[in-house]
Amino acid sequence: MGGTLINQNETAMTAKPNSKVKIIKRYQNRKLYDTQQSCYVTLDDIAKMIRSNEEVMVIDNKSKNDITAATLTQIIFESEKKASQYAPLFTLREIIQNGNGSISSYLAKLGAFPLDYMAKQVQAAADRISTDDVKQNLENRVASAASRYAGDNTVKAAAEKATVLPGGQQDDETPNLPISNNQALNN
């Protein structure tokens, strides 16, 4: 029975978006938008979807990051605030003491996750950091080039176009370079 539970959890945790997954976009104003039904939804609506076994994925509209886990955690937190009976204090203290205040860390220490789940989470976090570093490096290179040639908008545009994008993407258009003062006078 325990193996079946782990396999079901593993499947649910590693689910990829597909046609059955309902995508909810979270906007900066914290509004949640159901892209299939084309309407705004609440945390209670998402909880009802989960209870009716719908696959739901919540995406931050600006960063495009998957924030489903944070949203479901928020739903649990809101439910706890409304509950007439809280978890026993010794359990809450134990979560803080042994899980550094994180329910996820506490449950992982109890073995509630599949064996490779935490390793996958650590790798995913490392991948996000790596991608953010590449993006920041690219932005710094463009800003540096632009500041060196701030007086000449043509050089600034050329520097932006000449920058290689992450993933090997590159703009196919050849930038127009400025004509030096000596060449302009000779013509």
Q: Give the C-alpha separation, 19 to 37, whole Å.
A: 14
Q: Is the pLDDT of residue 13 over 50?
A: no
Q: Both ends of the chain: CA-CA distance in Å? A: 85
- Radius of gyration over alpha carbons of the chain, in Å? 25
Q: Give the C-alpha separation, 77 to 83, whole Å.
A: 10
2 pLDDT tier (thresholds 50, 70, 90): very low
Beta bridge partners of 59: 25, 66
Listed residue (172, 181, 184, 176) closest to 159, CA to CA: 176
pLDDT digits (tens, 9 = 90+) for 34-85: 999 999 999 999 999 999 999 999 999 999 999 999 999 999 989 888 888 8
Q: What is the mean pLDDT of the chain?
A: 74
Predicted local confidence at residue 9, as pLDDT:
40
| Strands across the sheet containing 56-60 | 39-41, 32-34, 22-26, 56-60
Q: Is the pLDDT of residue 3 over 70?
A: no
Whether 57 contacts 69, CB under 8 Å: no
Predicted local confidence at residue 97, as pLDDT:
87
Q: Give the C-alpha separation, 89 to 97, whole Å.
A: 12
Q: Give the C-alpha separation, 149 to 159, whole Å.
A: 9
pLDDT digits (tens, 9 = 90+) for 100-121: 778 888 888 888 877 676 677 7
User: Tokens for 3?
Assistant: 């193996």
Q: Which residue has the higher pLDDT, 69 or 132?
A: 69
Q: Which residue has the higher pLDDT, 52 or 129?
A: 52
The CB density around residue 159, as the number of other CB atoms within 10 Å, is 20
Q: Give the C-alpha separation, 118 to 127, whole Å.
A: 14
